[in-house]
Amino acid sequence: MTRIFRCQSGASAVEFAIMLPLFLMLIFGIIVFGSYLAMVHGVQQLAAEAARSSVAGIDNAERNSLATGYVAANAATYPLIVATNLSVNAAPSGADPNVYVVTVNYNAAGTFIYSLPFVPSPPTTIVRSAAIQYGGF
């Protein structure tokens, strides 16, 4: 009986079988949430820069055109963002007439991170806004 308890020939295989799912969960979690945070950061940067570029407009229609044009022209510089899945809403703030708000929506449902196993998926819609004051300095 003591010979059976001292036998270590299959211990490595059992330890590997126990640890592999945890290791894969950790690796896929880093990939999924790292990629998701990179997309969130890219959408926020697009919103902030679009808001900054919209200040040059004279009226709301021109500001909206500048913000939308900036996002369309620069979305390709972010490698995880597909430009066709972006939508831009630019309008004056309802609370303060001297503040212009640019909101960028991104539908990330088709990206590779939602097909990876072992980890829960983050939200598929990313919405980020940036507000900038104009006039009345």
The pair phi, psi for residue 55, each rounded to 5°, is -60, -25
| Whole-number pLDDT of residue 45 | 97
Q: Please report how the helices 60-74 and 11-54 are oriented relative to each other, as an axis angle in degrees rounded to 10.
A: 150
| Whole-number pLDDT of residue 134 | 76
Query: Rounded CA gap, 52 and 42, in Å?
Result: 15
Query: At 111, is the secondary structure helix, strand, or coil?
Result: coil
| Whole-number pLDDT of residue 4 | 60
What is the Cα 55 distance to its own chain's centre? 25
Residue whose entry in the numeric block shows the structure tokens 């996002």: 71
| Whole-number pLDDT of residue 98 | 86
Tens-of-pLDDT digits for all 137 residues of the chain?
666 666 667 777 888 889 999 999 999 999 999 999 999 999 999 999 999 999 888 899 999 999 999 999 999 999 999 999 999 999 999 888 889 999 999 999 989 888 888 888 899 999 999 999 876 55
Neighbours of 126 (CB within 10 A): 21
